Amino acid sequence: METLSWPPFLGISRRDHASADRKGNLDMQNIVILAGNVGATPEARTTQGGAKITHFSFATSRPKRDSDGKVIKDRDGYRVEDTEWHRITCFNGVGKTVEEYVDKGMKVMVRGRIHYTSWTDQDDIKRYGTEIIADEVTFLTRAKPADRSGNDMPDDEEIPF
């Protein structure tokens, strides 16, 4: 029986591992995929350089479990959820699409990366923040209608049939 000296949990093949050893490193990745609910209407701004930046709050939930791993239920028999809130940041094209089509309460999937920041506030206290920089936002429920101002198409109420 062959002894495996490479870490199979990394999801790389033996051949990839040998190649990485010759290069002296493995490619590192920062990938996040979240599916949940938009917590507030996205807020967009444009930088002086013309880049579009859109932020929104995002909630993910999972069942709360006891020390034995069993799902905890309330007195009415409904499972208790642990909800975590995330700050999502989108740039340029993704930001424009999110601003136009995403609204509070929608279910979306966000694919991106974790970004950590630190700063000193006005009281000279060191602060830290975490956000998800979105590369993709996929709609899991129907998007809000786009703003059609200036469009000559009639509204549904104006269609005579």
Angle at 34 between CA 92 and CA 136, to 5 degrees: 25
Q: Where are the beta strands (DSSP E) in 5-146?
A: 32-38, 43-46, 52-63, 81-91, 107-120, 126-139
For residue 138, is pLDDT > 50? yes
Residue 160 has pLDDT above 70, yes or no: no
Using 50, 70 and 90 to split pLDDT, how confident is the model at 156?
low
Using the predicted structure, report yes or no on whether residue 45 has a pLDDT greater than 80. Answer: yes
pLDDT at 151 exceeding the cut of 60 = no
- CA dist., res. 20 & res. 120, Å (int): 40
Q: What pTM did the predictor assign?
A: 0.70
Answer whether residue 80 shows pLDDT above 90: yes
Q: Are the beta carbons of 34 and 61 closer than 8 angstroms?
A: no
Helices marked H in the chain — which ranges? 14-23, 92-101
Are the C-beta atoms of residues 11 and 31 closer than 8 Å to each other? no
Length of the chain as a residue count: 161
